[in-house]
Amino acid sequence: MKKKLVIVNDKMQKKYRYYITEPVGKNFRDDFKPELTPREMLELGVFGGKYMTDCQKEFPKSWFKKAKLSPSFSDKNINFFKVQASQPLKVWEEKGWIHGDDPRGWFQWYARYYMGRRHEDDDRQIKRWKSFRRHLSAVKNNCAKGDLSCRSRQRQALLHWAYDSRKI
């Protein structure tokens, strides 16, 4: 595949450049198997709809056709489980979870990875994604199968990490 240059100009990044080196949605690492695509996550309702409202030009239009978005403020009612399950970006920054190339955090990294970018931060982000799996076990161990009202905050957080908690 021929490398494709992407230049980002949005509220959080000016003239940020990266290359797409893999086909969209293909050639993921063997130990990284997200259950939801970025488009599916946006359609389900994640991050209170606030995430990625000003950077749509970077990603396929199809991701945003049915996306549940709230450009002005985070609205928990947009989330699939209608609960707040996110910490403010400031908390993520204080904990050192944000890489400078992806100032919006994990989901921005995942969206770019999905699009075919491979990056120095891939190992760390995939490790974080794998560690979040512990919440799947908590839901499975404490909820009846199909009871979407059980542990809704944890289920919403799992959606934020591309785990399809509706299937538990």
- Tens digits of residue pLDDT in 132-160: 999 999 999 999 999 999 999 999 999 99
d(CA 73, CA 50): 6
Q: What angle do CA 53, 122, 43 make, to 5 degrees?
A: 30
**Is pTM, for the whole model, over 0.85?**
yes
Domain boundaries of the chain, sorted by first residue: 4-167
d(CA 3, CA 14): 21
Half-sphere exposure of residue 119: CA atoms within 13 angstroms, side-chain side:
24
* Res 97: pLDDT: 86
pLDDT(32) > 90 = yes
Q: Taking residues 66-79, report their average pLDDT.
A: 93
* Res 3: pLDDT: 96
Q: Tell me: the pLDDT tens digits for 87-96?
A: 888 888 898 8
More confident residue, 86 or 37: 37
* Res 118: pLDDT: 98
- Which token pair is 149? 């009202």
Q: How confident is the model at residue 51 (pLDDT cuts 50, 70, 90)?
A: confident
